[in-house]
């Protein structure tokens, strides 16, 4: 997809983009008509000729609702409009005037198949008032399906925060113009259901975030061999199971050779090469193309020594798990090759403390700040995942299966990212490729997955990218 389609904008950036379109011989009314009619197509797909209720607020999001309602009415649909307040903008008043159906007041209580929430859009920064919250809750309870236009009312766009407790969940959220960060950040993204985008012609915006999408990868060349495809060195530690999971995942993600440098004897599968030699000697192999350190490393003195040795290898590296809790500015002072850190929430806080970051803002803000302070690519993983580079690039992943909330799945992610890094992918691209493959492998596994099953599914996820 083009950058304009997959970009993620803040509220301020979206407003600036709309103003630029208006300055280029468009108008608020014209943009509202494009957005509303595009959203109506998705509403029609879900509701068809069933009863639809559109809840309209006073602003331009409410104006979108009147356009949606008129588009559905004009094609023979059954639609009712509930106006929470009178339109307060010129464009919303115009949209209401063009709607040829009846408008009900806030005391109305229609029942139907689908509720379309156009109460408030992406500019909301304070909680819904008591009356509006009660109106939304009542209508949501009396409709089988719920559709949010741009964002569910009560969601803060830039952070993904829920401004009200007990907001209803939605089956579909229709983003208008561009994706917003709340479409990908918890807790808001958990109530949005499926997400679809209606474009209005917004061009690529400098500094915008992007959505992580399926990468386009290539099979090995006809003359490839294991070293040309990439040698990944995995540094093990006191808990070998985690490192073995990472190795298994890495083997399925493209690297030609995965070698485990173990601290002790390991009962590894035959296809995983295990080396128990002195780490400072075996990591001098100039055929290494990437290093992974952290899964199962431990946090004692020996673990610190193994981390320092791994970081001394002048190839790109992935740092995960225990290694993140041992990492500080001094260890990276002489480091020149790219580094990817893959922290979960607790590890992210530890890294923020180590690198002097405030820890304020959304997960995307925090990832970007840590990347700038540390010089690392930061994969802030969890129920929502953001990737940031020191140069300001930022990407968010669509929400993956909640069955990933199982022990060992983070080790699998580290192995997949490290494998992509070993194949020669640029570090930021490798992180995004690994995140997509990890999420797709989880989808292929289905419910109640285990880390081992997840690693086994990685080759099938890779096949989807070829």
Predicted pLDDT of residue 280: 79
Fold for the domain defined by 231-463: 3.40.1190
Beta strands, E only, 342-423: 377-380, 386-388, 394-396
- Region 371-388: what's the mean pLDDT? 98
pLDDT, one tens digit per residue, over 200-238 is 999 999 999 999 999 999 999 999 999 999 999 999 998
Q: What is the CATH number of domain 3-211?
A: 3.40.50.10260
Buried b (16+ CB within 10 A) or exposed e, 134-172: ebbeebbeebebbbbbbbbbbbbbbbbbbbbeebbebeb
Between residues 283 and 445, which one has the greater pLDDT? 445
Contacts 24+ apart (CB under 8 A), 160-164: 160/184, 160/185, 160/186, 160/187, 160/188, 160/189, 160/362, 160/363, 160/384, 161/187, 161/188, 162/187, 162/188, 162/191, 163/124, 163/125, 163/126, 163/127, 163/128, 164/127, 164/128, 164/133
Tens digits of residue pLDDT in 333-361: 889 999 999 999 999 999 999 999 999 99
Average pLDDT, rounded, for the chain: 95
For residue 1, pLDDT beyond 60: no
Strand partners, 176: 198
**Maximum C-alpha span of the chain:** 80
List the chain domain ranges: 3-211, 231-463
pLDDT for the residue numbered 276? 82
Q: Which pLDDT band holds residue 282 (cuts at 50, 70, 90)?
A: low
| Strand duo 377-380 + 386-388: pairing | antiparallel
Whether residue 51 contacts residue 115, with contact meaning beta carbons closer than 8 Å, is answered with no
Q: Indicate the helix (H) or strand (E) that contains 149.
A: strand 143-149
What is residue 203's predicted lDDT score, i.e. its pLDDT? 94
Which residues pair with residue 210 across a beta bridge? 7, 395
Following DSSP, what letter does each residue of 259-318 receive, concatenated? EEE-SS-----TTSEEE-S-HHHHTT-TTEEEEEE-TT--SSHHHHHHHHHHHHSSS-EE
Report DSSP letters for 313-345, one per residue.
SSS-EEE-THHHHH--TGGGTT--S-EEE---H
Say if CB 357 and CB 370 are below 8 A apart.
yes
Judge whether residue 5 has pLDDT over 80.
Answer: no
Tell me what pLDDT residue 267 has.
80
Question: How many CB atoms lie under 10 A from the CB of residue 291?
Answer: 28
pLDDT digits (tens, 9 = 90+) for 251-276: 999 999 999 998 887 888 878 888 88
Q: How far apart, in whole angstroms, are the C-alpha atoms of residue 151 and residue 324?
A: 35
Measure the CA dihedral 182/183/186/188, to 10°: 70
Strand partners, 147: 116, 172
pLDDT digits (tens, 9 = 90+) for 182-203: 999 999 999 999 999 999 999 9
Residue 3 confidence (pLDDT): 58
Rounded mean pLDDT of 295-315?
A: 93
Q: Please enumerate in sequence order all residues whose Cβ is within 8 A of that of 26, keeping only pairs 6 or more positions apart, or say none.
A: 201
Burial class (CB in 10 A: 0-12, 13-18, 19+), 322: buried
Q: What is the pTM of this model?
A: 0.95
| Burial group, residue 113, by CB count within 10 angstroms (0-12, 13-18, 19+) | middle
Does 2 have pLDDT greater than 60?
A: no
pLDDT over 50 at 466, yes or no? yes
The pLDDT of residue 81: 98
409-465 pLDDT tens trace: 999 999 999 999 999 999 999 999 999 999 999 999 999 999 999 999 999 999 999
Closest alpha carbon to 36 in 82, 99, 78, 87: 99
Predicted confidence band of residue 90 (pLDDT cuts 50, 70, 90): very high
pLDDT the model gives residue 401: 97
CA atoms within 13 A on the CB side of 410: 25
The whole-number pLDDT of residue 265 equals 78
Whether 116 contacts 54, CB under 8 Å: yes
The mean-pLDDT minimum among 37-46, 280-289, 321-330 falls in 280-289
């Amino acid at each position: 997809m083009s950058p304009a389609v997959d970009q993620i904008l803040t509220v301020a950036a979206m407003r600036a983009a709309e103003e630029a379109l208006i300055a280029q011989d468009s108008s608020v009314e014209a943009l509202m008509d494009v957005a509303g009619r595009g959203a109506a197509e998705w509403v029609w797909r879900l509701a068809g000729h069933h009863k639809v209720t559109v809840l309209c607020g006073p602003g331009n999001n409410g104006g979108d609702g009147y356009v949606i309602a008129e588009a559905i009415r004009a094609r023979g649909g059954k639609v009712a409009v509930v106006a929470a307040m009178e339109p307060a903008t010129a464009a919303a008043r115009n949209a209401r005037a063009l709607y040829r159906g009846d408008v009900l007041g806030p005391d109305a209580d229609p029942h139907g198949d689908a509720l379309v929430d156009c109460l408030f859009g992406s500019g909301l920064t304070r909680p819904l008032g008591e009356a509006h919250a009660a109106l939304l809750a009542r209508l949501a309870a009396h409709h089988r399906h719920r559709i949010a236009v741009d964002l569910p009312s009560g969601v803060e766009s830039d952070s993904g925060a829920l401004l009200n407790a007990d907001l209803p969940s939605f089956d579909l959220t229709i983003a208008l113009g561009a994706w917003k960060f709340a479409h990908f950040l918890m807790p808001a993204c958990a109530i949005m259901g499926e997400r679809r985008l209606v474009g209005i012609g917004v061009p690529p915006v400098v500094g915008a975030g992007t959505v992580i999408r399926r990468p386009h990868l290539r099979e090995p060349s006809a003359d490839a061999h294991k070293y040309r495809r990439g040698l990944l060195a995995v540094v093990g530690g006191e808990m070998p199971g985690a490192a073995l999971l990472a190795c298994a995942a890495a083997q399925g993600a493209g690297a030609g050779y995965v070698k485990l440098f173990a601290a002790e004897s390991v009962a590894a599968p035959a296809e995983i090469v295990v080396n128990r030699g002195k780490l400072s000697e075996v990591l001098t192999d100039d055929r290494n193309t990437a290093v992974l350190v952290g899964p199962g490393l431990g946090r004692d003195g020996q673990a610190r020594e193994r981390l320092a040795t791994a970081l001394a290898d002048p190839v790109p590296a992935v740092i995960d798990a225990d290694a993140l809790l041992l990492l500080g500015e001094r260890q990276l002072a002489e480091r020149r090759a790219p580094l990817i850190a893959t922290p979960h929430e607790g590890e992210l806080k530890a890294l923020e403390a180590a690198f002097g970051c405030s820890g304020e803002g959304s997960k995307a803000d925090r990832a970007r700040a840590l990347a700038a302070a540390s010089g690392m690519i930061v994969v802030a993983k969890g129920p929502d995942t953001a990737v940031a580079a020191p140069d300001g690039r930022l990407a968010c992943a669509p929400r993956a299966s909640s069955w990933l909330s199982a022990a060992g799945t983070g080790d699998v992610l580290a192995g997949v990212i490290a494998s992509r890094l070993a194949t020669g992918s640029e570090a930021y691209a490798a992180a995004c490729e690994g995140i997509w493959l990890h999420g797709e492998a989880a989808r292929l596994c289905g419910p109640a997955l285990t880390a081992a099953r997840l690693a086994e599914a990685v080759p099938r996820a890779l096949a989807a990218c070829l």
